Amino acid sequence: MVNKEFEELILKYDILEKAFDNIRLVDPAKNRVLDLSGTTTEDTELKCFESLGKNKVCDNCISMRAYHDNRPYVKLEYSMKEIYAVIAIPLDLPDRRVIMEILKNATSSLIMESNQSNIYSEVQELIDKMNNLALKDSLTGIFNRRFINEKLPAEITSTKFSGKNLSIIIADIDYFKKVNDTYGHLCGDRVLKKFAKLISQCLSREEDWLARFGGEEFLICLPGADLKRTAEVAERMRKKIENSQFDCGPYQFKLTSSFGVSTVTPGMNITMEQLMEKADTKLYEAKNNGRNRVEA
């Protein structure tokens, strides 16, 4: 606990204002900055990521992570050739949990005088690597299970405010164990990488995302898509896999895959686990019904 004398010292010298460039409250479930001018916290039209010059939600959103884990997080971010340190601290209000974001422009502290013209690009690349390290699958380069655990609950929550559906697909490579047993695990890794690439080519919208769920299973999230459209996307993926050739050294072969689809409608009370279980059940239906098919 901070003692009273220290609290008074902070207030007297405006330490927080002097130490940081911006302090704000955000609701990461809505991606909105909150207005503190009144007696209650109200949503504004300003989206939290816009202040950093971005046009979409950050993949590695520490405010959402702080929101779900109920603990503070820190990350580095960049915008317009400036580097920011961002601290996200969860606060529980009477009606909801919000995040206090503390931003500090650390450009001058991190980038010293240099004759190298590409110094900023190098720092930018380093920050991207740091932020992606925890959320990207090292083999395929797509998102990993941790990203699913952090992002999917937020996508489900957003359906309550957007009034739009949310659909997911769970995809599985048919008889993948046979690939490993026949051609070896290195070949299996090459298959997984190409499978992820082919699936990602079927996603046309910026808000859609793909993650490796585990082993040869992948999860595809389509915010705003209904069951019919999602089943059509899954069918397009199925055909693309079926019509592609996989190469491992001297070996060339074909593969098939199976897909399970599930959807959340606005107002539906469902958890991430329940949504994924529904899609997984449909996937097993596809397997039991002969594989190389979509069940929705």
> Does residue 181 sit in helix, strand or coil?
helix
Cα 77 from Cα 64, distance rounded (Å): 15
| Structure tokens belonging to residue 144 | 């990993």
Can you point out the beta strands (E) in the chain?
22-27, 32-35, 42-47, 73-79, 82-92, 97-105, 166-173, 209-214, 217-223, 246-248, 251-253, 257-264, 294-295
DSSP category for residue 117: T
Residue 139: count other Cβ atoms within 10 Å of its Cβ. 13
Residue 269 CA: distances (Å) to CA of 28, 70, 157 = 19, 21, 9
DSSP category for residue 179: H
- Exactly one of 77, 101, 150, 216 is catalytic; name it: 216
Catalytic annotation present for 285: no
- In degrees, rounded to 5, the angle at the alpha carbon of residue 279 between the alpha carbons of residues 204 and 244 is 50
Cα 61 from Cα 28, distance rounded (Å): 9
> Does residue 76 sit in helix, strand or coil?
strand
In sequence order, which residues have a C-beta less than 8 Å from that of residue 186 and are 6 or more positions away?
Answer: 248
Q: Taking a C-beta distance cutoff of 8 angstroms, is the pair 152, 275 a contact?
A: yes
| Structure tokens belonging to residue 243 | 């019509």
- What are the backbone angles phi and psi of residue 168, rounded to the nearest 5°? -130, 155
Q: Taking a C-beta distance cutoff of 8 angstroms, is the pair 288, 269 a contact?
A: no
Catalytic residues: 216
